[in-house]
Structure 1
Amino acid sequence: MDSTNDITVGQVVKSRAGRDEGRIFLILDIVDHQHVLVVDGDLRKLDNPKKKKIKHLIVYNTVLPELKYKLDNKIKINNAYVRKLLEPFNKSF
């Protein structure tokens, strides 16, 4: 998958290349047809998201609708909330 057509905000992804290889992230925003902004609340915080190419990510089918809802409705979220959402995925993947 090399385009963002099947990707949504709030989807869980895993980095397959780069310094952050193996880390679990959430998609914060879709930049263009090849790039997304990802956060994990730990190394990549909400105020400094990482721009990654889709081809460097393993995309999971899991979408967290509560994150998408909060982002769409401009509800304030923090890094602790992102870490809490990702906690079960860091244990299972």
Structure 2
Amino acid sequence: MIPQVGQIVKVLRGRDPGEYAVVIRIEDHRFVWLADGDHRKFDQPKKKNLNHLHLQETISSEVASSIRETGRVTNGKLRFAIAKFVELMQVEAQEKGE
């Protein structure tokens, strides 16, 4: 799967495994820049190897359009996109369990 700006990813390796973040920039075919709006702000993103990430199918249209239009995104939008994704995952897990 090819990463896209605004895509939610799960970190598999590094200092914060299991955390979710959003792709805010694509470096090349191996690296992307991530931010979560909380621990890792937009102004200080983390460069991560794609091999250390699990790309989710969800792409935040709000984040993608904001970056496309202005070149930036607020940390609040990043937090909101991740929270919405986590909430959706919990709902799906509950439905499967019932």
Q: RMSD between aligned alpha carbons?
A: 1.6
Q: How does 1:53-68 map to 2 (within 5 A)?
A: 53-68=49-64
Structure 2 residue aligned with 1:87: 83
- Structure 2: unaligned runs, 5 residues or longer: 91-98
Q: Determine which structure has the larger helix proportion and give its number.
A: 2
Runs (5+) with no aligned partner, structure 1: none
Moved more, 38-47 or 77-86: 77-86
Provide runs of 4+ in structure 1 moved above 4 Å: none
Q: Which has the larger radius of gyration?
A: 2
2:27 to 25, 31, 34: 31
Cα pair 1:42 1:83 within 8 Å, conserved: yes
| TM-score relative to the length of structure 2 | 0.82
Provide the C-alpha distance between the structure 1 equivalents of 2:24 and 2:71, rounded to a whole number of angstroms: 14
State, as a whole percentage, how many aligned pairs show the same letter: 35
Q: Which residue of 1 aligns with 2:15?
A: 19
